[in-house]
Amino acid sequence: MRATPGTDTRPTPSLWLPRLAWGALAYNVLVILWGAVVRITGAGAGCGDHWPLCNGLVVPQDATVHTLIEFSHRLTSGLSGVLALVLLFLAFRHTPARHPARLGAVLSFGLILLEGLVGGVQVRLGLTADSTEPARGFVQGIHLANTFVLLGALLLTALWASGRPALRLRQQGQAVWLGGAGLGLLLVLGMAGAVTALGDLLFLPADGSTPIETVKRDYAATATLIENLRVLHPMLAILTSAYLLWMASRLFRLRPDAQVRRWGLWLSGAIAVQMLAGFANVALKAPGWMQLTHLLLACMMWLVTVMLVYRALTALSLRSPSTVSGVQGQGA
């Protein structure tokens, strides 16, 4: 049986390891969405300024609705840490030394810890609920960027645990910086989106107001920094989408692989759907359900982009040395 370029025919080290990795990835997407529910409902201060305790207690008593929402988010986030720890244990138990799944598991666990730390800082500094401090926008952006990187690490861990080849960054020509720039732009776009979502929550556009009127208000003398930055997200979305579409086309030219083409098409579709969701979000004045939809699509778009870049950087793995050198010459 002939191997498809960019795949790995090695047996997977353990059935439980890839299953847990894929499950952890899906679970963390749900945790991210529930975290957005906490922000949208204003329940971020449901446990006061206590962290990791809730109102000074392990289990809150006489809890309000906001307390229950925030406490449940902490419980689900804590379970993410447990899953990452089990994933780390299985990776080191069932894979040989220097297996890429070990690296992925270590990165995933470290990013989960950083995720909790950033959330704790946000709570301890009071950057929750109705806080309009500029620092809240900065922390919110860092939180989102770390979340995206975490999802990427979990995706790679799942791929490596399933027997897919490791990444090789050397001798990849243009593919490395093309993919790196695309992922970097998406992180910046996501951070700007987090600030915009925060602005839509704290400074909801007035009923009947047009987008132009909202922009004018965002730059009034009394406007805050969070309002000033709100307009950046749609501008960055257009520029980033244009680059990603060009990147997908360019990567396929450099790596004429069926899977690279497939994920490029998926990315094009994801961009189209996300742009429509973005326009709907503005037109509807950012209702909670639309913000959740927009965030879910952003997560999917990030994962599709990571998958595209991964396939482009592993498309040469099982090709002959002559083919590899020939394609590298095209990207040089």
DSSP state of 57: B
The pLDDT, as a whole number, for residue 318 is 43
| C-beta separation of 77 from 120 below 8 A | no
Which pLDDT score, from 0 to 100, does residue 127 have?
83
Query: What is the average pLDDT across 186-212?
Result: 82
Q: Predicted confidence band at 188 (pLDDT cuts at 50, 70, 90)?
A: very high
- pLDDT average, residue stretch 159-179: 91
Question: How many CB atoms within 10 Å of residue 268?
Answer: 16
Range with the poorest average pLDDT among 68-72, 79-83, 238-242: 68-72
User: Can you give the pLDDT at residue 11?
Assistant: 44
What is the CB neighbour count within 10 angstroms for residue 191?
Answer: 23
The segment with the largest mean pLDDT, out of 35-39, 143-147, 196-200, is: 143-147
pLDDT at residue 126, rounded to an integer: 84
pLDDT band at 80 (very low <50, low <70, confident <90, very high): very high
User: Residue 317 — pLDDT band, cuts 50, 70, 90?
Assistant: low
DSSP secondary structure, 212-279, as one string: HHHHHHHTSTT--HHHHHTTHHHHHHHHHHHHHHHHHHHHHHHS--HHHHHHHHHHHHHHHHHHHHHH
Residue 45 DSSP label:
G
Q: How confident is the model at residue 21 (pLDDT cuts 50, 70, 90)?
A: very high
Q: What is the mean pLDDT of the chain?
A: 86
> Quick check: 13 pLDDT over 80?
no
- At which residue do the structure tokens 């804590």 appear? 78
Least confident of 43-47, 312-316, 320-324: 320-324
Q: Is-contact 291 200, C-beta < 8 A?
A: yes
Statement: residue 324 has pLDDT above 80:
no
Q: What is the pTM assigned to this prediction? A: 0.86
| 259-284: average pLDDT | 94
User: Using 50, 70 and 90 to split pLDDT, how confident is the model at 107?
Assistant: very high
Calculate mean pLDDT across residues 158-187.
93
Task: Judge whether residue 10 has pLDDT over 90.
Answer: no
User: Mean of the pLDDT values across residues 70-81?
Assistant: 93
Predicted local distance difference test score (pLDDT) of residue 227 = 79
Residue 128: φ, ψ to 5°: -140, 180
User: Where residue 330 falls among pLDDT bands split at 50, 70, 90?
Assistant: very low
Local confidence band at 9 (pLDDT 50, 70, 90 cut-offs)? very low
